Structure 1
Amino acid sequence: MARQERDHGAGVAVREPAGRRVLGAAVFGSGMAMLDGTIVTVALPRIGADLDVPLSDLQWTLNAYMLTLAGLILLGGGLGDRYGRRRVFVIGVIWFTLASLLCGIAPNGNALIAARALQGVGGALLTPGSLALIQATFRPGERAKAVGLWSGLGGVATACGPFLGGWLVDGPGWRWIFFINVPFALVVLVLTRGVPESRDWDASGRFDVLGAALAALALGGVTYALIQRTVWVAAVGVVVGALFVLRERRAPRPMLPLDVFRSRLFTAANLVTLCLYAAIGGVFFLLPTQLQNGLGYSALTAGVATLPTTLLMTALSGPAGALAQRIGPRLPMTVGPLIAAAGLLLLHRVHPGGSYWTTILPGVVVQGLGMSLFVAPLTATVLASLEDRRAGVASGVNNAAARVAQLFAVAALPLVIGLSTDDYRDAGAVDAAFGRAVLVCAGLMAVGALVSWFTVPGELVQAEKGREDGRRPGGERPAAPQCRTHCAVSSPPLEPGPHHDRAR
């Protein structure tokens, strides 16, 4: 107990110099990973032209990163609890930065893909580590404020991605979208020098390394099969996936506790997440290619063209969450995807020679409005679907589900719409494929809306201990998500669990 109290201490406040250092380190650290979610897609057409690689290499440039990130992010927080949150966070920042340097100097597509996979490992360490660092360092009364600032400023970093990526690609070159992480990392390392270490002294048992390996192999196998169009690899991936489920059912400390899916509401919310984030991942993968290779935009112009979506999400996610707290999540989670689907249908009118103001802007604005409406209610639904003590697990699983959805969308969508090999270089082929893609993504949004309408309750109440079905007599309202402002293009925001509030 003495060690726990020494680690926890009185904590710091946001206004104190120590608090500002911790918050700055967490924001700059996680901001590197959040920026990656929007900055790389803008550079893909230029990467393909410079390295002379097929579309499959561009798919792997995104998916190699998402594969390791999705497969390991559930373990990232556990490593910090066991070995020290500051230590694991710093390791993640250094790892991410070194991998970024390897990405920047990659001489060919294979080297870039390998470096991106390593970069995802660093992202899996620093993303949950930044949030855990805040929860462990700030005093209880300051944590919600600190987490809110962390998520809001991280949303700003994500929103800056398209503009910054386009500016770098058109200026010093696409390699600088990776080199830009170096100064951010140096700032983080300086800020964390005085941050106290904290850990969970009660953490025991072995990590589920086998589960993480099986998950990565299963995701990688299915992804490879979709990109390379190889049936037997898909079968291997499915078999490995089944082994992963068996492992998680028997593991004493599973990476993915399967009992959370006994909650019908939790399962339904994650099904909605899969639909919505598959659509988001698909359209943000192909829209920059359509704008640059199909319409002839520069990288900077393409980045600015998509900026309204991210700006709207950053500005409106907070008010949308407050609205959902008043009227319940069902309506926002149904209407929001339908509005986003309408925005995607408007993008179906984007063709060479069309005006930005009459074809592209209406689509990205309507899409952004719809996405702003459903992200915060989705997070609140996930948190309310399980016991309060499992909020961190609920958020982590939901975050990983969104990344898996985008992983499969990037792998499968070109196959579905008939875009392959070097077609992405041909303006006519890109234009035709993009028109089919937005219809597919709009359909996924509509399916998510349909699932929400029939499975999400009109008013949320926190699941009580022993009854993880999303209902509790008495109708108590669950706590609102602490991440109230967020640009959730890559995934729903990670939320801290109440277990972080206990002395470590």
Structure 2
Amino acid sequence: MATAPQASAAREVGGGRAALTLIVVLLGMLTLPMAMSGTTVALPRIGADLDASGAALQWVVVGYFLAASSFMLVAGSLGDLYGRRRILTTGAALYTAGTLASALAHHILLLDAARLLSGVGAAGVMASGGSLLAATFTGAARTRVFASLGTTAGLGLAFGPTFSGRLVDALGWRATFLSYVAVGAVILAGTRLMPESRADLAPRVDKAGAATFIAGLALALFAVTQGSASGPTAPATLLPATLAAALLLAFVRVERRVVRSGEGRPILDLRLARNPAFLGWIVGAFGLGAGTTGVLAFLPTYLQGASGTTAGTAGLTLLLMTVPVLALPPLGARLVNRGVPARHLLVLSLLLIAAGNAWLTTLHPDIPATALAGPLLTIGAGQGLSLGIVDAQALSMVAPSEVGMASGFLNTVRGGTGAVMLTAFGALLLTAVESRVGPDVSAARITAGAGGHAAAFTAAWKVALWSVTGLMAALAALTYRLLSPPARRPAPRAGTSPYTKTA
């Protein structure tokens, strides 16, 4: 629960332009999920058009997540120091430029590079957007605002595949990127009218921490992608993994030194881990992403290959999963405001996602949409019920001057989850088919399980789905333990460290 000083600070920051801030942030949160889920629908057409296959094609999606997650934490902390609106503006500009370059790319490597740039921009938009709302609203209003944030993200997820699928069928995959360019330009213009928000004090920037974190996390995620393609013991995997471990260890040492010296502010205050309740919400955020990313990213291509559906029809089928993500965040916020423990809703969400993944193992070639309704609606309900709760609960535990760092950390977890799950899920599916048809088969045939290999592709799906089911059950148990009443901590007083243990 936010403190009175926090409420006062929020009103002062928001002023009469709080509604404008909300509109611009929500527009960004609408577009970014659309760009992610919509791009997955376009992958088969992109692969056929650019003659791309395997990892190079998957990096159109994975690279976006990798860049976003690597820069998210740094973007949030820089927003606290230099201005959250300024970072949001910069992020929107980079996102728009990268998306325009994606639409114009005529080689898969150029497209991958453009998507990396878009991911860097997305980091600025997502990290600073959430921190701006946390600094502007408080109490029950904050819960409602973050519920609307979850609803908007759900809307993007819901209509991204349908919108992009229709454009792909009618005008080609480049048209989808051009549509996101137009919205990005609107967001960029809107940021110029928003009020600025930053920490009261602007200590020295932790440049060493920023550099080691970005490089270390990027190399770690790259090692994961290489490991899935080349094997965990291949030099192409071991070298980046070793460098990543060294850099992340250096990052920990740098952050501890900054805290001890009191000179500047760390990119990530590692005392954050001392608060079990905050960690509980972080684990929950990881679970919400881990349980849904694989299905969201790869089910459309499966349906296009195994069932022969069009991109537009595959997108419509995915509405069964994403419409609950649109509809349920306000219900979750209403229940919390009426006294239902938020931790109970989060644990319920993880269990619903586990059940939905287990139910989806009934997947088979030519499966009708009616048979997919149950599992997809269950997964979507699990995600939607807690989508707007996690941010509101986690950010209520930090002081107003540090919501950017906390928001950046939360979104780093989300982005990293997306990149890892996309890589693991996609690599398993691709490997299962390539082991039978060889590595030279076109990406469109491999990712869709075409050419008589749908049975192998389906078997790989079931292994992945059961693995996700087990993971969700374990995360639900861990989340319940971390968020149990003895571990909960009250919000810090304004001006104190949000990571110090309290009674």
TM-score, normalised relative to structure 2: 0.80
The offset of 1:456, in angstroms, is 2.6
Matching of residue 303 in structure 1 with residue 315 in structure 2: yes
Aligned match for 1:463, one of 471, 478, 490: 490
Quick one: which amino acid aligns to residue 215 of structure 1? L
1:152-163 equivalences in 2 (<5 Å):
152-163=151-162
Q: Who is 1:232 aligned against?
A: 238
Deviations 1:309-331 (A, max 9, x none): 22112211222244356342443
| Structure 2 unaligned spans of 5+ | 1-10, 260-264
Q: Who is 2:295 aligned against?
A: 283
Matching of residue 449 in structure 1 with residue 449 in structure 2: no
Q: Is the contact between residue 146 and residue 388 of structure 2 (CA under 8 Å) also seen in structure 1?
A: no
Q: Who is 1:99 aligned against?
A: 98
Aligned match for 1:263, one of 271, 275, 285: 275
Distance 1:201 1:454 in 2: 36
- Distance change >3 Å, CA 170–CA 215, structure 1 → 2: same
Quick one: which amino acid aligns to residue 483 of structure 2? V
DSSP-derived class of the 1:206 partner: coil
Distance 2:276 2:222 in 1: 28
The offset of 1:461, in angstroms, is 4.7
The offset of 1:192, in angstroms, is 4.1
The offset of 1:364, in angstroms, is 0.6
DSSP-derived class of the 1:219 partner: helix
Range that drifts further, 440-449 or 196-205? 196-205
Range that drifts further, 246-255 or 166-175? 246-255
The offset of 1:401, in angstroms, is 1.1
Distance 1:293 1:29 in 2: 32
Q: Is the contact between residue 303 and residue 314 of structure 2 (CA under 8 Å) also seen in structure 1?
A: yes
DSSP-derived class of the 1:80 partner: helix
DSSP-derived class of the 2:251 partner: helix
DSSP-derived class of the 2:363 partner: coil
Distance 1:120 1:236 in 2: 22
Q: Is the contact between residue 221 and residue 236 of structure 1 (CA under 8 Å) also seen in structure 2?
A: no
Matching of residue 398 in structure 1 with residue 410 in structure 2: yes
Aligned match for 1:292, one of 304, 312, 334: 304
Distance 1:343 1:162 in 2: 20
Quick one: which amino acid aligns to residue 93 of structure 2? I
Q: Is the contact between residue 328 and residue 459 of structure 1 (CA under 8 Å) also seen in structure 2?
A: no
| Structure 1 unaligned spans of 5+ | 1-7, 474-504
DSSP-derived class of the 1:171 partner: helix
Q: Who is 1:246 aligned against?
A: 253
Root mean square deviation of aligned Cα: 3.5
Q: Who is 2:449 aligned against?
A: 426
Q: Who is 2:353 aligned against?
A: 340
Give the count of matched residue pairs: 463
Distance 2:25 2:84 in 1: 11
Q: Which has the higher contact order (CA 8 A, sep 6+)?
A: 2
Aligned match for 1:352, one of 350, 365, 383: 365
Quick one: which amino acid aligns to residue 288 of structure 1? P
The offset of 1:197, in angstroms, is 4.7
Q: Is the contact between residue 275 and residue 500 of structure 2 (CA under 8 Å) also seen in structure 1?
A: yes
- Distance change >3 Å, CA 452–CA 101, structure 1 → 2: same
Distance 1:412 1:145 in 2: 35
Deviations 1:221-266 (A, max 9, x none): 3333334433423333333333333333334532222111122333
Range that drifts further, 263-272 or 165-174? 263-272
Deviations 1:263-287 (A, max 9, x none): 2333344344434422322222221
DSSP-derived class of the 1:348 partner: helix
DSSP-derived class of the 2:106 partner: coil
Matching of residue 221 in structure 1 with residue 227 in structure 2: no
- Distance change >3 Å, CA 12–CA 450, structure 1 → 2: closer
- Distance change >3 Å, CA 270–CA 144, structure 1 → 2: closer
Q: Is the contact between residue 294 and residue 352 of structure 1 (CA under 8 Å) also seen in structure 2?
A: yes
Matching of residue 210 in structure 1 with residue 217 in structure 2: no
Distance 1:39 1:98 in 2: 18
Q: Is the contact between residue 383 and residue 394 of structure 1 (CA under 8 Å) also seen in structure 2?
A: yes
- Distance change >3 Å, CA 387–CA 300, structure 1 → 2: same
- Distance change >3 Å, CA 287–CA 95, structure 1 → 2: same
The offset of 1:26, in angstroms, is 3.0
- Distance change >3 Å, CA 383–CA 80, structure 1 → 2: closer
The offset of 1:151, in angstroms, is 5.1
The offset of 1:44, in angstroms, is 1.7
Q: Is the contact between residue 56 and residue 228 of structure 1 (CA under 8 Å) also seen in structure 2?
A: no
Distance 2:400 2:469 in 1: 34
Q: Who is 2:3 aligned against?
A: none
The offset of 1:56, in angstroms, is 1.2
Q: Who is 2:6 aligned against?
A: none
Range that drifts further, 270-279 or 103-112? 270-279
Distance 1:128 1:172 in 2: 33
Distance 2:23 2:386 in 1: 28
